[in-house]
Amino acid sequence: MALLRAFLELIFLRKGPEDMPAGRDPVLIALGFYLAVGLLLDRAAPVELPDGSELSAGFGFGMVLVDALVVALFSAMLVFIVDKKQRLPRC
């Protein structure tokens, strides 16, 4: 419950990212929210193909997973570039 409160305070700009608790759990929860919102957006605005059909939900889920992977890799690359490896959670 405290972790959810910390996320909400971050969203409403009452706390900064430096105030978030360290560890793997906050990262996994943020990833879960990211995937859930991506899937909701995919279903809310489906991609229509030229023949009038829509992409399947499985394809949309794959796109959301690839998007999350690209964001994670980009973030990790930035952490290594600025030499802040201690900010990466230990798995």
For the entire predicted model, the pTM comes to 0.69
Digit-coded pLDDT (tens) for 49-91 = 788 777 777 787 888 899 999 998 998 898 889 887 777 766 5
Domain residue ranges of the chain, discontinuous segments joined by +: 20-87
pLDDT at 74: 92
Digit-coded pLDDT (tens) for 11-52 = 899 988 888 877 788 888 888 888 899 888 887 877 777 887
pLDDT at 91: 54
pLDDT at 69: 92
- How many CB atoms lie under 10 A from the CB of residue 64? 19
Distances (CA, A) of 67 to 18, 42, 59: 25, 12, 12
